[in-house]
Structures are given as C-alpha cells and as structure tokens.
C-alpha cells in the first residue's frame, strides 16, 4: 500500500514538474508559430511595396519562415529540458549525412540561390540553355521551368543552369535578323539588291536605324549569295523573319530574278 502511495506521489510530482513545462512549451510553440506567420506576411507585403522580383519573393518568404521555425523548435526543446549541445551535434551529423546523400540536390539549391541573386534571366525571358529554348515560366529553388514555343514544359536543374552558358534573347530591346538569299549567275545583282532593300524598307516592323545591310557574301557553286541583316524590336523577331522570306521570294518572281536550286543531269547510255 505504501509502495502504491509512493508511485502515485512520484507521478504527481512528475506531472507538476514536467506537465507545466509541457503546457508552457506548447503555449510558446503556438504563439511562436502565430508570430512567425505574421512576420512572413509582413515581409511579403514589404516585398510587394518595393516591387521585388516575382521570382525572388517565394524563395525569401520560405527561407525566412523556415529559419524562424527551426529557431522556435530548438527553443521549445530547450524549455522541455533537452540538452541542446547534444541535440545540435546530432542534428549537424544528420545534416552532414543527408548533405552527402543529396549533394546534387544541394547543388541545385545553391544554383537557384545564385540565379535569384545575380538574375541572368527573369520570368518571361526567352532563353536557350542546356539544349532547351523557351520562355522562363517559373524559377524554383531546385529547378527552372521553361515553356517551349511548341507549348512543352522543360524542367532544368538549377545546378547546371547556373554554371553553364545561357543565351538570353530578351535582355536587349532590339535584335538583328540575318538572312541569306541566292540568285542565279545570269541575274542582275543590282536589281536583286533593290528588291531586297524595298521589301525591308517598306515593312514597318523593320527599323530604319540601323538601316538594312545587303551585300554579296559568297559566289557559290550555283548561286550568288547575299547576306542580309535587318534590325527589329525583340518581340517582332519572328514576324520579320517569316515576312522577309515570303516577300523577297515574291519580289524576285515579279522582277524576273531567279532563285537557283540543286539540279542533276542524268545521262543514259544504250549499250548494245
């Protein structure tokens, strides 16, 4: 009977000692989560007011929220009597093991941070990298999402993307459009140049400054080739590209200028 009373008394003392600590720790945890939620909301509003890059906002919000939650959980465990020195050492060892196992993932994470800080491209830019070309749809922590011109989604890891060459076609306001047109050796060079110049000059999407460049660049096997370079606004690149090919072909037809094409002569010998 006395043993039973001792056990009950010990349980009662444990409840008084650790129950209050547990309730207090839960209270601090709930209040802390509520405060962290308010802080992340405040940071998000501040980024909106300062018009921070849309690709950077989710990363900053997640990073701040996760860091504050880790600090809160460590504090709560300390309130419960957990030895923080041992816990942090264990956490560091686990982090090292996980880091070695997920080295590629961590590399992608670091690449995402580099992209978000140095901003070699932003959402909406048309880029070419890692064998893919498309519009940047989303910049995530580990991957960058591209939407290709034929409406496909390309997911590119940030690790390789941050350390390899990237072509950004949207950085500059204007772009040069290059063409090669060939005419026959028997055709009038000056007439062909005039046709090309008129087609380029009459199209309002082709910039007048810099003016179109037209010159004979190659005396090929079956054609005299012209190098043609015109400038346009970046958004109008493909409109100018397709327009010039169609209109130059029609202009050559009207002016009687031929466009040579490969031909083969076949000689048939009758052997008796």
pLDDT tens-digit map of 135-186: 998 887 788 999 999 999 999 998 888 888 899 999 899 999 999 999 999 9
Handedness of CA 238, 242, 244, 247 (dihedral sign): negative
How many Cβ atoms are within 10 Å of 159's Cβ, its own excluded? 21
> With contact defined as beta carbons under 8 Å apart, do 194 and 181 qualify?
no
CATH code: domain of residue 7 = 1.10.287.1260
Mean pLDDT of 122-126: 89
Kindly state whether residue 109 falls inside one of the protein's structural domains.
no
Residue 142: CATH number of its domain: 2.30.30.60
Per-residue pLDDT, 76: 74
Domain hosting 244: range is 174-255
Residue 106 has pLDDT above 80, yes or no: no
pTM over 0.75: no
pLDDT bucket at 65, cuts 50 / 70 / 90: confident
Q: Does some domain include residue 261?
A: no
Residue with tokens 């893919």, as numbered in its chain: 132
Burial (CB count <10 Å: 0-12, 13-18, 19+), residue 30? exposed
pLDDT of residue 53: 62
Residues 158 and 225 in one domain: no
Give the pairing type, strands 132-139 and 143-147: antiparallel
Confidence of residue 97 (pLDDT cuts 50, 70, 90): low
| Per-residue model confidence (pLDDT) at position 203 | 94
């Amino acid at each position: 009977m006395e043993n039973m009373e001792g056990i009950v008394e010990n349980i009662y003392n444990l409840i008084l000692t650790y129950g209050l600590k547990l309730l207090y720790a839960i209270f601090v945890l709930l209040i802390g989560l509520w405060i962290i939620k308010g802080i992340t909301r405040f940071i998000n509003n501040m980024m909106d007011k300062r018009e921070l890059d849309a690709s950077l906002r989710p990363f900053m919000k997640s990073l701040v929220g996760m860091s504050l939650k880790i600090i809160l959980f460590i504090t709560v465990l300390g309130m419960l009597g957990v030895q923080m020195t041992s816990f942090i050492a264990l956490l560091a060892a686990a982090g090292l093991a996980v880091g070695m196992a997920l080295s590629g993932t961590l590399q992608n994470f670091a690449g995402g941070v580099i992209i978000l800080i140095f901003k070699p491209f932003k959402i909406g830019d048309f880029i070419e990298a890692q064998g893919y070309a498309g519009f940047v749809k989303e910049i995530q922590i580990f991957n960058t999402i591209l939407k290709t011109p034929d409406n496909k989604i390309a997911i590119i890891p940030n690790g390789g993307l941050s350390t390899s060459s990237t072509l950004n076609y949207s950085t500059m306001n204007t772009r040069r459009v290059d063409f090669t047109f060939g005419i026959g050796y028997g055709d009038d060079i000056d007439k062909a140049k005039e046709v090309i110049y008129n087609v380029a000059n009459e199209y309002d999407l082709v910039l007048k400054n810099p003016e179109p460049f037209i010159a004979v660049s190659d005396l090929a096997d079956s054609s005299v080739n012209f190098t043609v370079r015109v400038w346009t606004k970046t958004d109008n690149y493909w409109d100018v590209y397709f327009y010039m090919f169609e209109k130059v072909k029609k202009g050559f037809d009207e002016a009687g200028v031929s466009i040579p094409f490969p031909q083969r002569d076949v000689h048939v010998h009758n052997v008796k």
